[in-house]
Structure 1
Amino acid sequence: MIEIRNSILKYIINHKGFYVLFLFFIRIPGHSQNTIKNLSPKSYIAYQTSEKITIDGVASEESWEKSKSTDFFIDIEGTKIPKYETSVKMLWDHEFVYFFAAIKEPHVWGDLKKRDTIVFYNNDFEIFIDPDNDTHNYYEFEVNALNTLWDLFITKPYREGTPVLNDWDANGFKSAVKINGTLNNAKDIDKGWAIEIAIPFKVFKTSYYQNNIPKDIFWRVNFSRVNWDFEIHNNKYYRKKDQKGKFESEYNWVWSPMGVINMHRPEDWGYVYFSSKKAGELDVFEIPKDEKVKQLLYQLYRKQKVFFKNNNRWAISFNELGQKDVRIEDKKVLRTIENHQTGFNITIASPFTERLFIIKEDGKIITKED
């Protein structure tokens, strides 16, 4: 039994001018295998474009030609090779971040045309972005072969039972789809489709005066492709159903594997470094060692959640969590655990930079320089 994102119930309520979407999930059989642990996040260098990028679904500009593609997508759990290849390129300038996804698919189809519908009920391409790497206040964009957009602002991962701002719009979002074949024609075989996207950096601003152009820094990013088995009736495509009349599970193919069937663990996404160098030049990026400190914090966060579920209280020591002395790259880790009325704080002093990293009961990471 596995967890998928197939929502079975949604409530939309008005909350301070926004529509808030609650998604509930079920566990049903699907295309998966055992959880793979300790997967290393992938990284990618996005270079500056030296020219204007026209959003037409064709990566014809010289900057695109000079940019490298990501590795081909892999099954979300990290081991299976998908049936069809998917890869992405990225660029940026001082106004937009650009994406170009090449999606191989012998049958290109879709029927969802209304913005903010549940786009992953069709085959789709998805982008997940957490600019400040604290796992809160992140963004999701889904687009199908009809160029239908579902854009979401997510205040906290679903594990915290948090409402999703479904009525939030990424103003200035641009996209174009190019079909290499024919759309919704079951009588032929297609080669696939491509999608080109431009998202303004102002979409990700947290305050009016914030300068959030990510020059020579990294964001946490991941890409996903949802793909469904299908049936054909009267030359029309439909999601395939099992013998009981229920939709079969989707395939989830991603750039940076998650180890579990759950995209909403931003701490496990990949790293995209926005180089100030131009496309065609060469830069180097290494994931900072402090990220290993954060991964340790998330291990402790998950242990605290399990402990609370079993004991109806938070653990007051690391011994209660079954974790004694810990080292990272043979360096001793200094840490404290503090409970309070509404939850807990776990603090680790980085053995690499001496910065303090704190994780709260809701999984938010706070960084202190002193």
Structure 2
Amino acid sequence: MKLLKLVILLCLFTSVSCAQSTNNVPRSYIAHKTSETITIDGEATETSWSKTEWSDTFIDIEGVKEPTYKTHVKMMWDETYFYILAKMEEPHVWADITEHDAIIFHNNDFEVFIDPDGDTFNYYELEVNALNTVWDLFITKPYRERNAALNDWTLTGLKSAVKVDGTINNPTDKDQGWTLELAIPWKAYKTSYFEKNVPENKHWRVNFSRVNWDYQLEDGKYQRKKDVAGKLLHEYNWVWSPQGVINMHEPEKWGYVYFSSKEVGSKDTFTIPQDDSVKEQLYNLYKAQNSYRQKHKKWATSIDSLTTKAIIVNHKTLQPTIENHTTGYNISVKSPFTNNTLIIKENGKIISN
């Protein structure tokens, strides 16, 4: 029952949809390899961190507004861990949740979303507040597909540390912010015993979110701010790669992290695969199919029923087809860039053959 309530609350919190932004092109980052031993203490004093570049500054989740306070991250890796360093400006650092797997976003927090194979299914969420309290989740598929959020999944081997530049939970002074340092073990994402699962010279779909609340003081303690009617004000959602909607659980919109085999301080390049632009068009057709079914109480049987416009990617015209079956449909298209056949199913999962 506790898990059911948790899933309902997550759906309510994350499924609010707003107008699409035109500034939602996924961001990318090259994480270089380190040979240095990294101590997870929130200090980030290692030479490797000093040689690692900061990401783009976070934007609001729709990609249209500059956040009140600055947030950015650094990333690197070794054979054991994916390292993340997040730095957040915050004049009033506060937190009061201390229970593991509690609903951390009821405090200001920092969140990590990871989809290793980029198919939007079986992805991971990690939330941490300024007290270094952790909530880790395994999510079977996006909330739009009536998923299961496994709250009892544990990110075994995670290392995390918080450093506050100021004094936490002290409303009488002004803080500079807080820093979160993470070491996420690759082995936590293994799908088989024999799998190495270190994505050297590969990319994963990743995004980061910072939830921030206006506050009020009650008996000298920080609380989320309420309006005159006693209703909580909406939180702010600031992200690394803009989603275009107020919903983190659309993994196909997350950013790209490329894990370069070159040492920190080196230069490397990464280009988003052109097939991912083809996948984006398949997701558009998937959404159009859902709208069609809602209106007509059945799936469309032709692409013309879903769009009257030519589907063009990088000056190449796509020719998708629909195959209907008893439980749904497959929309397939041959990529003009790789000759792979890409298929999206009625549940939103994409398969590449």
Q: TM-score, normalised by structure 1?
A: 0.92
- Counterpart mapping for 1:35-74 below 5 A: 35-37=20-22, 39-74=24-59
- Cα offset for 1:104? 0.5
Which residue number corresponds to residue 252 of structure 2? 267
One-letter identity of the residue aligned with 2:164: I
Higher share in strand? 1
1:97 and 2:82 are equivalent in the alignment: yes
- In structure 2, do the counterparts of structure 1 residues 33 and 365 end up closer, same or farther at CA, with 3 Å as the change threshold? closer
1:303 and 2:288 are equivalent in the alignment: yes
One-letter identity of the residue aligned with 1:365: I
- In structure 2, do the counterparts of structure 1 residues 37 and 72 end up closer, same or farther at CA, with 3 Å as the change threshold? same
Which residue number corresponds to residue 341 of structure 1? 326
Which residue number corresponds to residue 7 of structure 1? none
- Cα offset for 1:339? 1.0
Once the two structures are overlaid, the 10-residue window that deviates more, 232-241 or 84-93, is 232-241
Is contact 2:226-2:232 (8 Å) kept? Answer: yes
Return 5+ residue gaps in structure 2 as ranges.
Answer: none
Is contact 2:207-2:240 (8 Å) kept? Answer: yes
- Cα offset for 1:325? 3.2
Of 220, 231, 241 in structure 2, the residue corresponding to residue 235 of structure 1 is 220
2:333 is paired with a residue whose SS is strand
Which residue number corresponds to residue 175 of structure 2? 190
- For 2:240 and 2:249, the matched residues in 1 are separated by 14
- Cα offset for 1:26? 4.4
Of 226, 230, 233 in structure 2, the residue corresponding to residue 248 of structure 1 is 233
- Cα offset for 1:220? 0.2
- Counterpart mapping for 1:191-206 below 5 A: 191-206=176-191
- Cα offset for 1:21? 4.0
1:165 and 2:156 are equivalent in the alignment: no
Is contact 2:95-2:129 (8 Å) kept? Answer: yes
CA distances 1:193-215 after superposition (whole Å, capped 9, x unpaired) = 00000010011111111121000
One-letter identity of the residue aligned with 2:53: K
- For 1:236 and 1:326, the matched residues in 2 are separated by 55
Which residue number corresponds to residue 126 of structure 1? 111
Which residue number corresponds to residue 257 of structure 1? 242
- For 2:11 and 2:83, the matched residues in 1 are separated by 32
Which residue number corresponds to residue 198 of structure 2? 213
- For 1:178 and 1:78, the matched residues in 2 are separated by 28
- Counterpart mapping for 1:287-326 below 5 A: 287-326=272-311
2:188 is paired with a residue whose SS is helix
Q: TM-score, normalised by structure 2?
A: 0.96
Is contact 1:179-1:194 (8 Å) kept? Answer: yes
Is contact 2:18-2:245 (8 Å) kept? Answer: no
- Cα offset for 1:246? 1.2
> Aligned residue pairs: how many?
352
- In structure 2, do the counterparts of structure 1 residues 214 and 161 end up closer, same or farther at CA, with 3 Å as the change threshold? same
Higher share in helix? 2
- For 2:305 and 2:212, the matched residues in 1 are separated by 42
- Cα offset for 1:341? 1.0
1:147 and 2:132 are equivalent in the alignment: yes
Return 5+ residue gaps in structure 1 as ranges.
Answer: 1-9, 14-18
Is contact 2:24-2:62 (8 Å) kept? Answer: no
One-letter identity of the residue aligned with 2:290: K
- In structure 2, do the counterparts of structure 1 residues 68 and 106 end up closer, same or farther at CA, with 3 Å as the change threshold? same
1:35 is paired with a residue whose SS is coil
2:125 is paired with a residue whose SS is strand
Q: Superposition RMSD on alpha carbons, in Å?
A: 1.8
- In structure 2, do the counterparts of structure 1 residues 38 and 255 end up closer, same or farther at CA, with 3 Å as the change threshold? closer
- For 1:68 and 1:24, the matched residues in 2 are separated by 33
